[in-house]
Amino acid sequence: MSASRFSLGPVAQKKSAVATMALVAMMGLGSGFTGGVGITSAYAQLAPSANVGAPPSFADVVDRVKGSVVSIHVVGGGNPKVAQLPAPGPKGTPRGKPTEPFGGIPGLPEDHPLNEFFKNLPRGNGEGGGGGGGAPTLAQGSGFVISEDGYVVTNNHVIDNATKIQLSFDDQTAKVDAELIGTDQRTDIALLKIKNPSRKFPFVKLAPKDPRVGDWVIAVGNPFGFGGTVTAGIVSSLARDVGSGPYDYLQIDAAVNRGNSGGPTFNLNGEVIGVNTAIYSPSGGSVGIAFAVPAKTVNEVVNQLRTSGSVSRGWLGVKIQNVDEDTAASLGLGETRGALVNEVTADGPAARAGLKNGDTILSVNGGKIADSRDLARRVAALAPNATADVVVLRAGKEQPIAVKLGDFKDASGPVSTPAKAEPTKPTATTDLDALGLKLSVAKGGVQIADVDSGSDAALKGLRVGDIIMEVSSQPVTSADDVSKGLAEASKLGRRALLLRVRSGDQTRFVAVQLKKG
């Protein structure tokens, strides 16, 4: 698949130039695959702490690994499905689910580079191309062999909608046919198998240890259709959030370009440390910012794909948001951690176990939860039907709850969101100077009639017409209810008040600082 150029949006265009995010590759092999490639170079044998410069040559490593890297040729039809995201709401409000979600990149902001890439996939030959009118198209990407009998890993987006998949090796021109074993859209990984293998194939292993920032790396792939291309660089970051769900990415500065999708990044031992999945560039070519899925994540996914053809993940059935300093203060939480439950899926695992909107999840199976992404990763790592021992903070007290998890791939059903109430024309209003708000009665809660432009409420994105549904997890139907919640928070010495607010059909928790004096 190839990258395409895109704009970052009106604001970014004024501040910078056109930016490009090109999907490139994730791949790896499971712990079940043994053998692989080693290196006897003196540099490869040095202790991790050794203070040395660059090796005189990467040739020894390349000689040992390049035979396992393949170019992937795909024939497909139609345009690839991309996420169709709802229009952005007020500042700070959550966005709805994509109407047609791309499994690995859910809920990207509308102006996020990856989202723009999906919208602007090329419509001709090349990586990611889709022909108009349903005409067959050709796409090229990269991949690598993970077992001597011909299992190959690449990106899901490289082979998505493919009607025919062929592979070619660096040492020969003849292509071999491959079949799809399974895909995981959430991590954008696909597992292939060479049909009717006539020989044993060279293969590589995933690195058993995480790399360190500053380690040398080598990327091998099929950029722009030039198979067997090698580039070198270092690990720039170990845990980069690129807005594609709960999984972190390695950042590397080795040159990665269009067509590298699905290709591996190696350490000096010839082990795969990650699968190249995206680049960021103002020009469409490499500027030294590339992202790779870590070997540990790939290992977990590929093992499941090889066994069952699909990936199963635990599912809790909640919408969550981070706990910031003001939210922690409004909850009486001594530290900024945990995941605040915004909405509970109707008849989902959390709902059946008794979790409620406004609960703050502090730990799962004894492990403290840092934030919402941490919770998502921990739950996804558990098996469906497993019991998760969850500790929540509710009404200022910690409470243990045992939840029997569901299966993420079967996750469906509406969340327990109240019916949308249209804003009503305010009649009598009540001033709450401590919050910087004027309130009036409305269906489903209390409507905001005016917002002090200099207040924390305005800074947090509250707007005229928003509906306050709850205060400190207690339902409100009048301005007096809000006033009572405000008085209680002041009595407890809280410096912020937690409001559950609906803007249109989206709900969120907002912790508003109380005015002093």
Yes or no: say if 413 and 347 are a contact pair by the CB < 8 Å rule. yes
For residue 210, indicate whether it is catalytic.
no
Yes or no: say if 375 and 361 are a contact pair by the CB < 8 Å rule. yes
**Closest-CA residue to 479 (of 434, 445, 433):** 445
Which of 71, 147, 157, 160 is flagged as catalytic? 157
For residue 261, indicate whether it is catalytic.
yes
Conformational region of residue 375, where left means phi above 0, alpha means psi within -120 to 50, and beta covers everything else: alpha
Cα distance between residue 355 and residue 349, in whole Å = 9
**Closest-CA residue to 292 (of 226, 246, 243, 248):** 248
Strand partners, 502: 467, 507
Cα distance between residue 138 and residue 123, in whole Å = 10
DSSP 191-226: EEEESS--S------B-SS---TT-EEEEEE-GGG-
429 three-state secondary structure:
coil
Strand partners, 500: 470, 509
Cα distance between residue 28 and residue 204, in whole Å = 9
Cα distance between residue 210 and residue 235, in whole Å = 11
Q: Strands 467-471 and 318-322, how do they pair? A: unpaired
| One-letter amino acid for residue 33 of the chain | F
Strand partners, 446: 441, 468
Return the structure tokens found at 71. 């170019």
Which of 160, 184, 188, 248 is flagged as catalytic? 188
Cα distance between residue 364 and residue 401, in whole Å = 10
Which of 2, 4, 236, 261 is flagged as catalytic? 261
For residue 157, indicate whether it is catalytic.
yes
End-to-end CA distance of the chain: 60
Cα distance between residue 181 and residue 256, in whole Å = 26
Which string of b and e fits 482-494 if b means at least 16 CB within 10 Å? bbebbeebeeeeb
Cα distance between residue 29 and residue 152, in whole Å = 9
Which residues are catalytic, by number?
157, 188, 261
